[in-house]
Amino acid sequence: MASTARFDVVAIGNAIVDVLARADDALIEAEGLVKGSMRLIDAEEAARLYAAMGPAVEMSGGSAANTLAGMAALGERCAFIGQVADDQLGQVFTHDLRALGVAYDTPPLAGGAPTARCLILVTPDGQRTMNTFLGASHLLEQAMIDEELIAASEILYLEGYLWDPELSRAAMRRAIDVARGAGRKVAFTLSDAFIIDRHGEDFRALIAAGLFDILFANEVEIKALAGEEDFEAAVAKIAPQVPLLVVTRSEKGAIAITGGARTEVGAEPIDAVVDTTGAGDLFAAGFLSGHAEGRPIADCLTMGAVCAREIIAQVGPRAQTDLKAKVAARLG
């Protein structure tokens, strides 16, 4: 039976503009940063670190928004809920998302915190170290949750990063209730181990309650969630608790487990890793697009791997190549 949903996916996430700059390992060490990690910073630290960065490039980002950008490029119907301020960066974010064909109508915040930005230091090995000032994005309130939009979307996709602030956490809980009440699926991405450190009990409770239909994680995150040092032990612990578990493993590929059946794919070949920013976001874009099209799990994983490869071969989290053509060339 054909879907009556207006959108394939509606996502809730941080509305962020990324500021990317090349950096050597010495700067990472001098700043006391953990390479490849993400941390939250305040406005003062954002200003200080920005001054220490080299020449930078600004582009719209945000984990869930990046996923939707990839999905839209693959031809899926997408909508976004997220908070920007009524300022220049907010206008840039809104324009960029709408220009990709993503429906985005969350009213901007008038006054108060500015639009969020993520200062990303990219080292020669392609690793990105993210320093995020959440600004207006963490002020997403329940009143901004478009319940009709959620009910009209096949999948509600939630970004773990946005679980940290109290206001947006409450908004996302409400969105889950709306989606479940409308008989829609809920997909959740864990985002980062530090989020699990802070909110692991919440996530484990939501999983135990059966509120997530699809769970995305990477190797570090699944071990943190399960409280296991061994990858296979972690997967064995979490997989029976969710209908569909998807775990990325960088150069080792990715796995999906559903109904006890495990599917694996290898990473797509690449000449050189330029920047890993958005790799997980675009993997989710490819996987969810395949899922929306009713493809087999192996194809969904392959689509994710293709999209991830394209994004790590360039600078920035928004694809500069034709993702649809790349997927078609790979899968036919």
Radius of gyration of the chain (CA): 18
pTM (2 d.p.): 0.91
Could you tell me if residue 313 is inside a domain?
Answer: yes
Contacts of 7 (CB under 8 A, 6+ apart): 77, 78, 79, 103, 149, 152, 153, 154
Burial grade of 30 (CB within 10 A; 0-12, 13-18, 19 or more): exposed
The whole-number pLDDT of residue 3 equals 66
Instruction: Locate 135 and state its tokens.
Output: 């600004």
Q: Which residues in the chain come in under a pLDDT of 50?
A: 1-2
- Specify the CATH number for the domain of residue 253: 3.40.1190.20
DSSP secondary-structure letter at 292?
A: H
Residue 25 falls within a domain, yes or no? no
Residue 178, in any domain of the structure: yes
Q: Does residue 100 fall inside a structural domain?
A: no
Eight-state DSSP code of residue 267: P
Helix (H) or strand (E) holding 171: helix 166-181
Biggest CA-to-CA distance, the chain: 58
Q: Are 13 and 80 in contact (CB under 8 A)?
A: yes
Is 272 a member of any domain? yes
Whether residue 309 is contained in a domain is answered as yes
Tell me how many domains the chain contains.
1
Q: Token pair of 140, please?
A: 């997403």
Give the pLDDT of residue 43. Answer: 86
Look at the block and give the residue holding tokens 């309650």.
Answer: 209
Two structure tokens written together for 271: 């000449």
What is the extent of the structural domain holding 146?
A: 7-15+62-82+140-331
Domain-located, residue 281: yes
Is 87 contained in some domain? Answer: no
